[in-house]
Amino acid sequence: MKRIMILCAALLVCAGLSEVSGAVKKEKKEKAIVTTVFVTDVDCAHCVDKILNNVPTLGRGIKDVQVDLQTKEVTVVYDASKNDERTIVEGLASLKVKAEPKAQEAPAPQARR
In the Cβ-directed half-sphere of 71, how many Cα atoms lie within 13 Å?
A: 10
pLDDT value of residue 92: 95
How do the domains of the chain map onto residue ranges? 1-31, 32-101
pLDDT value of residue 83: 93
CATH assignment of 32-101? Answer: 3.30.70.100
pTM for the model: 0.65
Nearest to 89 by CA among 38, 47, 41: 38
The one-digit pLDDT tens for each residue of the chain (113 residues) are 778 878 667 766 666 666 655 555 555 555 689 999 999 999 999 999 999 999 999 999 999 999 999 999 999 999 999 999 999 999 999 999 999 998 876 565 666 65
Is there a contact between 92 and 48 (Cβ–Cβ < 8 Å)? no
From CA 15, how far away is CA 12, in angstroms rounded? 5
pLDDT value of residue 17: 61
Q: What is the DSSP letter of 61?
A: T
Nearest to 58 by CA among 19, 86, 25: 86
Nearest to 88 by CA among 110, 48, 49, 61: 61
From CA 111, how far away is CA 70, in angstroms rounded? 33
